[in-house]
């Protein structure tokens, strides 16, 4: 079992902190094998805002567009840190499919979400104008 596989297995650890840490590390490893397990971890940890926040940010860092739909759903989470993280992650993904949801988040009741959505839209739009590097 390699490092990524061990981290993926830790997403189901009985200790919540270790699940959070595993999600955080998976985002930094850059291995897209982690995308599907991280998406699954969103549902498995739906009641824990700390784990959700770590998973959401990791999905953004991995840059895989399979995460767009679940992240769009989390823009409506009851947990403020999760909504902010979802907006940031959607900006990182650079998928134009996220624009309508981010524009809707500009009307969120919380200014932190509105600011994150505005920054994400700017980041996303800049990535659409700038061609990817070699």
User: Do 59 and 38 form a contact (C-beta atoms < 8 A)?
Assistant: yes
Residue 55 domain boundaries: 3-129
Provide the pLDDT for residue 126. 87
User: Contact at 8 Å (CB) between 119 and 107?
Assistant: no
Phi and psi dihedrals of 76, rounded to 5?
A: -110, 15
Does residue 134 belong to any structural domain of this protein?
Answer: no
Q: Would the pLDDT of 114 be above 90? A: yes
What CATH number did the domain enclosing 97 receive? 1.25.10.10
Model confidence, pTM: 0.91
Instruction: Answer whether 81's CB lies under 8 Å from 54's CB.
Output: no
Domain count, the chain: 1
Task: Establish if 38 belongs to a structural domain.
Answer: yes
**How many Cβ atoms are within 10 Å of 77's Cβ, its own excluded?**
19
């Amino acid at each position: 079992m390699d490092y990524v596989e061990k981290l993926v297995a830790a997403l189901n650890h009985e200790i919540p902190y270790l699940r959070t840490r595993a999600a955080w590390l998976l985002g930094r490893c850059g291995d897209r094998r982690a995308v599907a397990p991280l998406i699954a971890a969103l549902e498995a940890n739906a009641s824990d805002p700390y784990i959700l926040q770590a998973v959401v940010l990791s999905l953004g860092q991995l840059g895989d567009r399979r995460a767009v739909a679940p992240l769009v759903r989390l823009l409506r989470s009851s947990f403020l840190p999760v909504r902010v993280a979802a907006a940031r992650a959607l900006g990182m993904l650079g998928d134009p499919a996220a624009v309508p949801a981010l524009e809707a988040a500009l009307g969120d009741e919380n200014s932190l979400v509105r600011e994150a959505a505005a920054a994400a839209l700017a980041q996303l739009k800049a990535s659409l104008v700038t061609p990817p590097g070699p």
